[in-house]
Amino acid sequence: MNIALVTGASSGMGRETIIQLWEHFDGLDEIWAVARRKERLDELEGMVGVPIRKFPLDLMDREELQKLEEALGAICPKVRFLVNAAGFGKIGNVGELSVTDQADMVRLNCEALTAVTTMVLPYMPENSRIIQYASSAAFLPQPGFAVYAATKAYVLSYSRALNQELKSRRIYVTAVCPGPVRTEFFDVAETAKEMPLYKRMFMANPRRVVAKALRDSIMGRGLSVYGISMKGFRLLCKEAPHGFLLSVMDRMDKCTEDRGWSRDRK
């Protein structure tokens, strides 16, 4: 049985990935959809014409993760696509965010992504694809979003190394690094503090980001960066000293705050 396995399937780019996989790829017998909100996974059945196998589970819970591993072991599918889109971030300084929020970002964005990738790999045949949702936040440390950016730097580094390791098996890994994308992500991210205005100006459409990610994955590219502004940002982060860029961003944040364009939500 040929399948795609998608985490973060209940909203945003994970859900959009399921829709576009169905639109563009024949030959998938099932799509396995993972997220906590079961009612959202139920809705997927009306959106796509391929059977959805639902895994309503919390990826931060090791016992629940085991259910996924057991299903893989019992059914032994051929996983043609693995898409790790589950993830969250909280905006706020390290001293302002709770220990739980910070530790959970690491648990979901790094640990769970690594665990799911490792448990799925034995079921991936030649020519299959892994799509890992990192972020443009991986390109530069982000004061005010420090832990999230660090988790995404992990995803980027891990995915590039894994891509190299899997070359002999002809499995291709793509790290997706979008800037801000219009999804429910910000409902969670902005519970304490809003995103600065200058970052809001670059909000991308999730459908386009996902379409590019799938195209890049099929082309066997290791990195997918949507939009000219984020490509420019990546170049800047490669060429300019990070200390200098951080001081420029600090000034922009202060200017935004002074003008009342960004508010504390506490």
Active site positions, annotated: 148
What type of residue sits at position 164? Q
H or E stretch covering 258: helix 242-258
The single residue listed with the structure tokens 């739980």 is: 100
Here's the x/- map for ligand NAP, 27-66, by CB under 6 A: it reads as --------xxx--x-----------------xxx------
CA angle (146 as vertex; 57, 221 as ends), nearest 5: 70
Which of 8, 77, 92, 227 touches ligand NAP by CB under 6 A? 8
Q: Is 231 in the site for ligand NAP (CB under 6 A)?
A: no
Here's the x/- map for ligand NAP, 69-108, by CB under 6 A: it reads as ----------------xxxxx------------------x
Here's the x/- map for ligand NAP, 173-202, by CB under 6 A: it reads as -----x-xx-xxx--x--------------
Residue 241, token pair as written in the block: 């000293």
- What is the Cα–Cα distance from 7 to 58, expressed in whole angstroms? 10
Stretch that binds ligand NAP, among 8-16, 46-54, 158-166, 253-261 (CB under 6 A): 8-16
Of 59 and 171, CB closest to ligand NAP: 59
Stretch that binds ligand NAP, among 5-13, 167-175, 231-239, 254-262 (CB under 6 A): 5-13
> Count residues contacting ligand NAP (CB under 6 A)?
29
Of 87 and 196, CB closest to ligand NAP: 87
- How many helices and strands, by DSSP H and E, does the chain display? 11, 7
- What is the Cα–Cα distance from 96 to 120, expressed in whole angstroms? 36
Buried b (16+ CB within 10 A) or exposed e, 15-29: bbbbebbbeebeebe
The distance of closest approach from Cβ of residue 196 to ligand NAP in the complex, given in angstroms and rounded to an integer, is 13
**Under 8 Å between Cβ of 44 and 34:** no
The distance of closest approach from Cβ of residue 134 to ligand NAP in the complex, given in angstroms and rounded to an integer, is 7
Here's the x/- map for ligand NAP, 117-156, by CB under 6 A: it reads as ----------------x-x---------------------
The distance of closest approach from Cβ of residue 99 to ligand NAP in the complex, given in angstroms and rounded to an integer, is 17
The single residue listed with the structure tokens 């079921």 is: 123
DSSP letters of 70-100? Answer: HHHHHH--EEEEEEE-------S-TTTS-HH
Of 2 and 115, CB closest to ligand NAP: 115
- What is the Cα–Cα distance from 65 to 5, expressed in whole angstroms? 14
The alpha carbon dihedral of 10, 106, 200, 239 has a sign of negative
Which of 4, 5, 12, 171 touches ligand NAP by CB under 6 A? 12
Residues at the site binding ligand NAP, with contacts judged by CB under 6 A? 8-14, 35-37, 40, 58-60, 85-89, 108, 133, 135, 178, 180-181, 183-185, 188
